[in-house]
Structure 1
């Protein structure tokens, strides 16, 4: 076993876009788990912008039996599930969900970005689906809507991870502040430099409140969106102890999730990132975030 493969033993991918999904996928949740198991992954989390993936995983239980890599699901709070819907969250968590993604394709930041990029707009309306409605985090009074606090309490009770999804800077900060004030410590901010556009100063502040900053390997593998130096700069900004690496892969036309891990981890090693730091980012931090014992 090579150094890279050894570092991925016990890894947890919190951002796997396997299928089924309205969007074209290269792999099912079962196939993604089997490929991850080949590298010794401990777990993967299946993410979909359109539906709760917990029921997917439960339906695939017979095929997943005997696969050593666990597969978990969660729910993204977009208009397709009723937005900030505590009933949908309750069902997801009670059926084993581990992650609550606050609005992704229904966030104002995402919709604004899609309006300026026609390719992205089409990408997130597969099968000719309706455009997502905006899901507002704030009420008319300027405060977070009561449903946000209810969902934070549900996540805390269940020990589930809260993700800021594709929220912009103001909403992401308000969510993290509210969750931290409620004593919830399983928080993640994904790809701050893509769609969310959270500036480095705010990222440092959110990490200080307990949020782990997730960077997506699909954006750095073969430098598809950003050069590897950008990822190194983000890691150095908040430290590996506040950083997690997820694949954000599984789509048709992109590398497989395991290919993203192999490629980017090798680049990180070549760039001088210590092995212990890589283990924190691919194994320990994501495992803690979804309640797995270290």
Structure 2
């Protein structure tokens, strides 16, 4: 559909690094193919399908006939939670060598996520009974586990994206420090003001290691009941960390929540109304995530 408004023109060609399409044991509003079809409304260039539970590359290979011919490309990856064996280099090797573009370090099985959930933080209930177990990044000596080092080397081999997942801030620093030393080029930390407990100053430390800071429209969209703030809060983060280090994704796909395209338009439009330059919005939704996903070198 041709772009018809200022915000749609700016968002045209965006890359969503955080789409929770299905299949998944958590209730989802749409599958990977439907996500790509909807993305075409805004000329979305690509999206990254994220699951907390399994390697999404295999989903996409099984759906390749349905995905062929769609203008929005869909990429997959693997999250290192207990359902893939935690920090499991063998699962990462399979994912990346089958075309995966991202490795998320522990998300729902990280200590930060478990502490938040146990203290009353909301999270969807799986449609099937699932066991829960914490996945740790470091050993008793405080050093990264050998398996984590092997995962980092596999990420370097594939020139893939390293996401800090839902690790606590100190673990993020430890992970990114070693990752940068070993040659990882693409790193991102998601929703720093949710779960991991980072402020802008801490995020600037992450960016000094070469990382980008991802915020999600779902955290600032007035039509999302669990939003953590308004567009004014998001603009403050962009200004404090810098658009050159910021990414805007959706973190949408859950049943009962908005479509990513609609949320991008609402939040992106609000940022423009608040005075964010068009070039900066374009950078955080298109240029930066395209680099992180390996679409632009």
Determine the structure 2 residue equivalent to 1:189: 189
The question of 1:40 aligning with 2:43 is answered: yes
TM superposition outliers: structure 1 runs of 4+ over 2 Å = 127-132
**Could you tell me whether the CA contact under 8 Å between 1:159 and 1:290 is conserved in 2?**
no
1:16 maps onto 2:19 in alignment: yes
Q: Distance in 1 between matches of 2:109 and 2:100?
A: 20
1:40-60 superposed Cα distances (whole Å, 9 cap, x missing partner): 111001001011100111111
Aligned to 1:161: 161
Listed as ranges, the gaps of 5+ residues in structure 1 are none
Choose from 29, 49, 53 the match for 1:50. 53
Cα offset for 1:9? 1.4
How many residue pairs end up in the alignment? 291
Q: Report SS of the residue matched to 1:221.
A: coil
Shift of 1:129: 2.4
TM-score, normalized by length of structure 1? 0.96
Structure 2 residue aligned with 1:285: 288
SS of match in other structure, 1:45: strand
Residue 242 of structure 1 pairs with residue 249 of structure 2 = no
C-alpha distance in 2 between matches for 1:270 and 1:234: 16
Question: Corresponding residue for 1:133?
Answer: 133
List aligned pairs for 1:92-171, cutoff 5 A: 92-117=95-120, 119-120=122-123, 123=124, 125-171=125-171
Structure-2 residue corresponding to 1:276: 279
Q: Is the 8 A contact 2:200 2:241 kept in 1?
A: no
RMSD of Structure 2 on Structure 1 (CA): 1.2
Whether the 8 Å contact between 1:162 and 1:186 is mirrored in structure 2 is yes
CA apart distance, 1:183: 2.1
CA distance in 2, matches of 1:293, 1:107: 31
Return the alpha-carbon distance in structure 2 between the equivalents of residues 130 and 20 of structure 1.
Answer: 16
Residue 118 to residue 238, structure 1, CA distance change in 2 (3 Å): closer
CA–CA separation in structure 2 for the residues paired with 1:281 and 1:265: 10
Counterpart of 1:230 in 2: which secondary structure?
Answer: helix
Q: Secondary structure at the match of 2:149?
A: helix
Distance 1:115 1:216 in 2: 23
Check whether the contact 1:74–1:97 (CA below 8 A) recurs between aligned residues.
yes
Q: Is the 8 A contact 1:215 1:245 kept in 2?
A: yes
Q: Which secondary structure state, in structure 1, belongs to the residue aligned with residue 42 of structure 2?
A: coil
SS in 1 for 2:28: coil
Distance 2:243 2:156 in 1: 24
